[in-house]
Amino acid sequence: MLNKSSRRSFLSQISATALAAMLPMPAFALSASRAKTLVDRLVADINQVIDSGKSENLMLKEFERIFDRYADVPTIARYALGVDARRASPAQLSEFTKVFQRYISIKYGKRFREFIGGKIVVDSARQIKSFIEVKTTAHLRGEAPFDVTFLVSDKSGSEKFFNMFIEGINMLLTERDEIGAMLDQRGGNIDAMIADLRKVS
């Protein structure tokens, strides 16, 4: 009998094709220059927040607005649910997406808040397969610069980023692992996972 960890690993393997379908299709209308322009605006907004001197709560609210404006949250949320997205009802998927947006905004907003006193600089953009990779560099006080990379597509109908790497850490894979673990801990109960995710602060 498969344990919870093995079960999720097995289901992830047999559902590789289904999970790939959640990712952006070829961005025929999207050019590297347009993707770079999007990330230029995104980075400008992030830099403005970290330079604002606002309280943590106000900063996190700003970061949630940034995620809403620039991130393809529905794609990220469906990928995070992985194989369980197929059994979620439309109502559950809608509620999870809403709660998940707040969750990742808080999580990554806190990470960006660590950049106070520094700045992010956009370096380059290039097409890779069906999306555009935009590389930036985070320059923080007292630390060596490190890469922050955004993957951009226009599958949602407008340019949005659907994945992000901070110091090589893959947001999509990290969130799929964490949401999957939360579901396993709750016996696969999607509603219980959503309720607990809503409590994250």
- Looking only at the bridges linking them, the beta strands covering 119-128 and 169-170 are unpaired
Q: Determine, yes or no, domain membership for 153.
A: yes
Q: Determine, yes or no, domain membership for 24.
A: no
Per residue in 49-62, pLDDT tens? Answer: 999 989 989 999 99
What pLDDT, on a 0 to 100 scale, did the predictor assign at position 201? 64
Please report, for residues 50, 164, 175, 182, 201, the alpha-carbon distance to residue 146 in angstroms, rounded to integers and kept in the order given: 17, 13, 21, 30, 27
Q: Determine, yes or no, domain membership for 34.
A: yes
Domain housing 111? 29-197
Q: Would the pTM count as exceeding 0.85? A: no
Q: Determine, yes or no, domain membership for 18.
A: no
Q: Determine, yes or no, domain membership for 1.
A: no
Angle between helices 190-197 and 90-113 (to 10 degrees): 30
Task: Tell me the CATH number at 47.
Answer: 3.10.450.710
Q: Determine, yes or no, domain membership for 9.
A: no
Question: Is the pLDDT reported for residue 10 higher than 80?
Answer: no
Q: Determine, yes or no, domain membership for 22.
A: no
Average pLDDT, the chain: 86
Q: Determine, yes or no, domain membership for 55.
A: yes
CB-based burial of residue 5 (10 Å sphere; 0-12 exposed, 13-18 middle, 19+ buried)?
exposed
How many domains does the chain fold into? 1
